[in-house]
A and B are shown apart, each in its own frame.
Chain A
Amino acid sequence: GAGVSQSPSNKVTEKGKDVELRCDPISGHTALYWYRQSLGQGLEFLIYFQGNSAPDKSGLPSDRFSAERTGGSVSTLTIQRTQQEDSAVYLCASSPISSGPGRFFGPGTRLTVL
């Protein structure tokens, strides 16, 4: 079956522009997670959705970052007024339930802010 998909795979933008990153989770997965991975670093938790609600937004680095999920499916991570330090790979994962051990990760979106 289809795995987690993310689009675009690569995004190059200029400092100050807004970007939207999309995640399509595995069908039927109620939990969805966003992480980011800077070059040579581990994964940094950003936000977690259970259904359409986000019980934990604690990892969002600033108020320039926001995320939403609609219909218990697709999620969009929006970064406003991008900065160079936002450059990273943004990874989305889904799981059948929030406390389940298996996270299924997408291939990520590589964001480069010039």
Chain B
Amino acid sequence: DAKTTQPNSMESNEEEPVHLPCNHSTISGTDYIHWYRQLPSQGPEYVIHGLTSNVNNRMASLAIAEDRKSSTLILHRATLRDAAVYYCILGEGGSNYKLTFGKGTLLTVNP
């Protein structure tokens, strides 16, 4: 299985940017990088995904290293509602249907 490595936890202050790192040194050429987050007592929520180029959407930005062995999810201005577990996941193989969730990073946002 393709693996990712994330810090267990991170802390941020409200209205400051947050950079959540993810290492995926064994990524293969067809693997997409997906980010999901899970708020307390809820199912996971899709955040963003990318292959090679940096991506932006209304929720976040995804910066992908040139060698694709790491990526960073960027929340531009953290809010209290962004407190959640953030999962960095590789979509395995060409089909990309099987997403294996690890333990993720628990983000705490301080007021």
Contact A101:B97 (CB < 8 A) given known A91-B44, A106-B43, A107-B43: no
Instruction: State the CA gap A45–B32 with chains docked (Å).
Output: 18
Contact count band on B: 20 to 34
Residues of A within 8 A of B97 (CB): 31, 33, 48, 56, 98-99
Residues of B within 8 A of A48 (CB): 97-98
Identify whether the interface residues of B are mostly helix, strand, loop, or mixed.
Answer: loop
Contact A101 B102 (CB under 8 A): no
Binding site for B on A (CB under 8 A): 4, 31, 33, 35, 41-45, 48, 56, 91, 93, 98-99, 101-108
Interface: B45 (CB within 8 A): yes
Among A42, A48, A102, chain B packs the most CB atoms within 10 A around the CB of A42
A50's nearest neighbour on chain B, judged by CB, is B97
